[in-house]
Amino acid sequence: MLLEGIESGKRKSHTVKLASDLVIVGGGMAGTCAAITAAREGLTVTLVQDRPVLGGNASSEIRLWILGATSHMGNNNRWAREGGVIDELMVENMYRNPEGNPVILDTILIEKVALEQNIKLLLNTSVYDLEKKGTDQIDFINAFCSQNSTEYILSAPLFMDASGDGIVGFLSGAAFRMGAESKEEFDELFAPDEKYGELLGHSLYFYSKDTGKPVRFVTPSFANKELSKLPRFKTFNLREDGCRLWWVEYGGRTDTILNSEDIKWELWRIIYGIWDHVKNSGEYQDVENLTLEWVGTIPGKRESRRFEGDYIMHQKDVVEQREHFDAVSFGGWALDLHPADGVYSDKAGCTQWHAKGVYQIPYRSMYSRNIKNLFLGGRLISASHVAFGSTRVMATCAHNAQVIAMAAKLCKQKNLLPYQLADIDQIKDLQALLLQAGHYIPKIALNLENNLIKDAEIEVSSEFELKSLPFDGPWKSLEFSMAQLFPITNGEQLSVTLMLKCKQETNLKLELRKSQKSGNFSLDELVEKQEIKVKTGEHKYQIDFDFVCEASQYVALCLIQNDVLEVKCSSARMTGVLSIFNKFNKSVATSSVQSPPDGIGIEEFDFWVPERRPNGHNLAFELGKSLKGFGKGNMANGIFRPTHQTNAWVASQKDLNPEVRISWSSTTLIKEIKLFFDTDYDHPMETTLMGHPESEIPFCIKAYRIRNENGKLLYAQEANHQTINIISFESTIPVKEIILELEHPSASVPAALFGIICS
Ligand SMILES: Cc1cc2nc3c(=O)[nH]c(=O)nc-3n(C[C@H](O)[C@H](O)[C@H](O)COP(=O)(O)OP(=O)(O)OC[C@H]3O[C@@H](n4cnc5c(N)ncnc54)[C@H](O)[C@@H]3O)c2cc1C
């Protein structure tokens, strides 16, 4: 028994001191991915999260889907899902949770963190104070857990603030901004004026549920009964199930940190007002059985402080896809600003302008310019209000966070502070570490320096050649222009035979298009035009193009919209080959052409977007000469997704035993083999709300075996669904040869591999 008498002074909380290599404050997607990455790289990490689960805005407390450069497949960023740990989490989520249940995502995040021995996770623990050493470094931070009544003193040489509002940056005196820059500061013509507003507000979501029997709703007294004053009130759409009303936004005219609780009350008032209207106004049919299943209690915060690093990203970095010597990550969401009046504004809920392709993010935007041991994570990174409109989405935040974790590793290894890595040679080391972990940096390839395959000979049992895709799929009406992307290598030419169907004679316009910038899929360069006469009935047509390709690139055969025509598609799907359509996704665009008003510094271009499976068939076609961009050399080119070319070795479908044989001239010691499979980086894998028709990606190899030169089995896998497989041996093994026996993912999809790293 514990018996304590009267204490005339005051008692002190139970206190625990913890020291680690890196303290991460905030367990949103940024903090979580940084923690996992750093722990796997051998750093000891303390991850402090003030709430009971991880994921921040993606958690079951708030329920936003994680998105990034794929932009719901609604812009021209092909194969743009983020790589590394965030990819692993999203692939795992789709595998376990194709229905998009946010509670399942919670379990995945908690599980992945709990599996890392190097992470000390403090949930329900809020950081509230800190001490500095000198003027420009943090010594330790103070946090308190109300659940175990414990005060924590957390020290480390390096800190990462991933708290959303930037508690650590603020308390430590780091330079920050809140609100929008003037147009002049960074020559940002899209910078909003005072009238539009300078800050994005908070939102709350809610879920409804059909109980199968009538349910009444007695409205709480605080609900807003004057909903008709909301300008968007008339467009309220019940089919959204009450959960996708992201535009129920408020707070952008006030301090989104200090007044956060008041903002939440206003959002509650609006949401319960909406529900009162739905249930009790009599204006809606079929709502008797509906109940409110869940209403958010913690508002989703969009914007507050943005901290200053050695570089502040701005509009032109995004729109012009500017390149940086210290590129370490990328973004691809639109410049997405919202009117500060939110739900009370008569303007559109958001204004989104996309760049023509993905853009690089520089390392210098990821640490504080004056607090020398502080990294800036998540939405805190150094960006103007306009650029932040794009960098703020969670997959981008998570991808950037992986950079911070790797940078922390290098800082520890080399005894450097974060800013000291912003040097051309140090950055190369950082880029290499990242790329090896599956991270993607546009225009940067991993060199073979630390890859033992550089000294090996690679043989494959077959190489796929794209000669035809069978005429066995559905007919597709050309109500929208459709394009087939062909990966073309130097010197190749296109002669394509298609099958067309029409009820009346017509002319079909065809265009061969490519993209001005290598790696883009904007199709903004017309290469050649043709027009063919199409007879009634079903017929095949051969179209020969003069264009000779001078570099490896994707070229699109565009079939221009024609209401009376249908084109035959194929059921065949394969790595790096895709069809796209000149239409738009209303979640992220308003028309199939991005048409910005003059003078806002945004480019006009067409959207060419894919359709999601089970749709999105390739065209059926025969080619005069086969395309050869699927060779074994792709496995060693240091790019692990399609960019300007497929970057994948693909086996022939006829090859019943696809095999990669890696041979060294003398015995080589191997500790680890890393394989990069195709989990379709074009798939956005939205984590919640939205279901997916598949839980595994059809291109991903499930089963494979690894043998040595004597046929001895070194490893076997029967049920893979992940992008990267790491096969670590307990100790180094001597081999002269490694034979990788692969099975095709299915009868209609050939086996493909983006890369192999042996170390
Ligand atoms: C309504 C809405 C819709 C959006 N739509 C999308 C979308 O569709 N897709 C998308 O990807 N992004 C979307 N965003 C943007 C995105 O959610 C945020 O920009 C993103 O969550 C920022 O990530 P973060 O890790 O910096 O912050 P958060 O996700 O907010 O995570 C920060 C974490 O830090 C914790 N924390 C805060 N203070 C402390 C403290 N003192 N001590 C310890 N822990 C602390 C918080 O509890 C939180 O878990 C949307 C945002 C909103 C609000």
Q: Tell me, what's the pLDDT at 234?
A: 64
Q: CA 623, CA 726: separation in Å to the nearest integer?
A: 38
- Range with the poorest average pLDDT among 38-42, 246-250, 527-531, 584-588: 246-250
Q: Tell me, what's the pLDDT at 438?
A: 96
**Beta strands 137-145 and 150-155, pairing class:** antiparallel
Report whether residue 26 contacts ligand 1, using a CB cutoff of 6 Å.
Answer: yes
Report whether residue 392 contacts ligand 1, using a CB cutoff of 6 Å.
Answer: yes
Report whether residue 305 contacts ligand 1, using a CB cutoff of 6 Å.
Answer: no
- Identify the residue whose tokens are 């901004």: 177
pLDDT classification of 68: cutoffs 50, 70, 90: very high
How many angstroms separate the alpha carbon of residue 637 from the centre of ligand 1?
36
Which residue lies with its CA nearest to atom 37 of ligand 1?
Answer: 163
Q: CA 651, CA 37: separation in Å to the nearest integer?
A: 32
pLDDT classification of 160: cutoffs 50, 70, 90: very high
**pLDDT tens track for 716-745:** 999 999 999 999 999 999 999 999 999 999
Nearest to 79 by CA among 584, 575, 693: 575
Report whether residue 126 contacts ligand 1, using a CB cutoff of 6 Å.
Answer: yes
Q: What is the mean pLDDT of the chain?
A: 95
Q: CA 139, CA 154: separation in Å to the nearest integer?
A: 9
Residue of 63, 64, 390 best suited for mutating to test ligand 1, as the one with most atoms within 8 Å of CB: 64
Q: Is the pLDDT of residue 229 over 80?
A: no
Cβ atoms within 10 Å of 535's Cβ, excluding its own: 12
Please give the average per-residue pLDDT across 643-649, as a whole number.
Answer: 97
**pLDDT tens track for 385-408:** 999 999 999 999 999 999 999 999
Report whether residue 246 contacts ligand 1, using a CB cutoff of 6 Å.
Answer: yes
Report whether residue 394 contacts ligand 1, using a CB cutoff of 6 Å.
Answer: yes
pLDDT classification of 241: cutoffs 50, 70, 90: low
**pLDDT tens track for 417-454:** 999 999 999 999 999 999 999 999 999 999 988 899 99
Q: Is the pLDDT of residue 124 over 60?
A: yes
Which residue lies with its CA nearest to atom 12 of ligand 1?
Answer: 393
Q: CA 332, CA 357: separation in Å to the nearest integer?
A: 7
Decide: 564 and 330 in contact? Cβ < 8 Å: no
Amino acid at 58: A
Decide: 366 and 309 in contact? Cβ < 8 Å: yes
Report whether residue 378 contacts ligand 1, using a CB cutoff of 6 Å.
Answer: yes
DSSP line for 48-67: E-SSSSSBGGGSTTT-PPP-
Q: CA 57, CA 35: separation in Å to the nearest integer?
A: 17
How many angstroms separate the alpha carbon of residue 35 from the centre of ligand 1?
16
Decide: 86 and 398 in contact? Cβ < 8 Å: yes
Q: Tell me, what's the pLDDT at 209?
A: 87
Q: Is the pLDDT of residue 587 over 90?
A: no
Q: CA 130, CA 119: separation in Å to the nearest integer?
A: 21
Three-state DSSP state, 306: strand
Residue of 32, 48, 57 best suited for mutating to test ligand 1, as the one with most atoms within 8 Å of CB: 57
**pLDDT tens track for 679-692:** 999 999 999 988 89
Q: Is the pLDDT of residue 239 over 90?
A: no
Question: Would you say the pTM of this structure is higher than 0.95?
Answer: yes
Q: Tell me, what's the pLDDT at 686?
A: 96
How many angstroms separate the alpha carbon of residue 139 from the centre of ligand 1?
26
Q: CA 645, CA 174: separation in Å to the nearest integer?
A: 43
pLDDT classification of 283: cutoffs 50, 70, 90: confident
pLDDT classification of 19: cutoffs 50, 70, 90: very high
Please give the average per-residue pLDDT across 363-387, as a whole number.
Answer: 98
Token representation of residue 404: 């911070």
**pLDDT tens track for 194-203:** 999 999 999 9
How many angstroms separate the alpha carbon of residue 748 from the centre of ligand 1?
41
How many angstroms separate the alpha carbon of residue 69 from the centre of ligand 1?
17
Report whether residue 514 contacts ligand 1, using a CB cutoff of 6 Å.
Answer: no
Report whether residue 167 contacts ligand 1, using a CB cutoff of 6 Å.
Answer: yes
User: Which atom of ligand 1 sits closest to the CA of residue 303?
Assistant: 19
pLDDT classification of 410: cutoffs 50, 70, 90: very high
* DSSP, res 516: S
Q: Tell me, what's the pLDDT at 242?
A: 60
Residues of the chain above pLDDT 90, percent? 90
Cβ atoms within 10 Å of 305's Cβ, excluding its own: 22
Please give the average per-residue pLDDT across 103-119, as a whole number.
Answer: 98
DSSP H/E element including 47: strand 45-48
Report whether residue 67 contacts ligand 1, using a CB cutoff of 6 Å.
Answer: yes
- In terms of pLDDT, which residue wins out, 346 or 544? 544
Q: CA 213, CA 366: separation in Å to the nearest integer?
A: 53
Please give the average per-residue pLDDT across 290-312, as a whole number.
Answer: 95
Q: Tell me, what's the pLDDT at 243?
A: 65
pLDDT classification of 64: cutoffs 50, 70, 90: very high
How many angstroms separate the alpha carbon of residue 162 from the centre of ligand 1?
9
Report whether residue 430 contacts ligand 1, using a CB cutoff of 6 Å.
Answer: no
Report whether residue 50 contacts ligand 1, using a CB cutoff of 6 Å.
Answer: yes
Residue of 161, 163, 270 best suited for mutating to test ligand 1, as the one with most atoms within 8 Å of CB: 163
Q: CA 99, CA 487: separation in Å to the nearest integer?
A: 33
Q: Is the pLDDT of residue 240 over 60?
A: no
Q: Is the pLDDT of residue 168 over 60?
A: yes
User: Which atom of ligand 1 sits closest to the CA of residue 51?
Assistant: 47
**pLDDT tens track for 503-559:** 899 999 999 999 999 999 999 999 999 999 999 999 999 999 999 988 899 999 999
Q: Is the pLDDT of residue 233 over 80?
A: no
Report whether residue 66 contacts ligand 1, using a CB cutoff of 6 Å.
Answer: yes
Q: Tell me, what's the pLDDT at 482?
A: 98
How many angstroms separate the alpha carbon of residue 300 from the centre of ligand 1?
7
